[in-house]
């Protein structure tokens, strides 16, 4: 039997979960942003994740850098409020251009706090 290579998407999810668990064990407040839907051209596939702490540190990627800054700010709000959010960015949305998502697609994310 030969070893099968692990895809980069699977490795990224594992790294994100490991980081989230490590940060939570260390007492850091953590949120997780997950790509739940895409349309058209999208820099990252469904299932891609970004873990964020209250100070804005993050690991992972939900857009290859296009919208990470906006998602980090929203995740910090989710940590503070405890209320999950659905976020959507798309080329027809001025916010998408403002944050750099000019790839012609749309992306929807679910952001949730992982610990209280």
Q: What is the pLDDT of residues 67-113, one digit of tens each?
A: 899 999 999 999 999 999 999 987 665 555 555 555 567 899 999 99
Any domain includes 33? yes
**String of b and e for 58-94 (b: at least 16 CB within 10 Å)?**
bbbbbbeebbbebbbebbbebbeeeeebebebbeeee
Any domain includes 1? no
pLDDT at 66 over 70: yes
pLDDT of residue 9: 55
> What predicted TM-score, i.e. pTM, was given to this entire model?
0.79
The number of domains in the chain is 1
Residue ranges making up the domain that contains 80:
8-113
Any domain includes 63? yes
């Amino acid at each position: 039997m030969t070893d099968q290579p692990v895809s980069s998407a699977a490795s990224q999810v594992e790294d994100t979960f490991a980081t989230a668990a490590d940060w939570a064990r260390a007492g850091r407040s953590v949120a997780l942003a997950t790509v739940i839907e895409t349309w058209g051209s999208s820099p990252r596939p469904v299932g891609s994740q970004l873990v964020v702490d209250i100070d804005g540190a993050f690991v992972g990627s939900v857009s290859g850098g296009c919208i990470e800054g906006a998602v980090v700010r929203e995740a910090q709000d989710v940590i503070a409020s405890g209320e999950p959010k659905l976020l959507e960015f798309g080329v027809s949305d001025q916010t998408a251009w403002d944050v750099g998502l000019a790839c012609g697609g749309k992306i929807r994310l679910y952001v949730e706090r992982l610990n209280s």
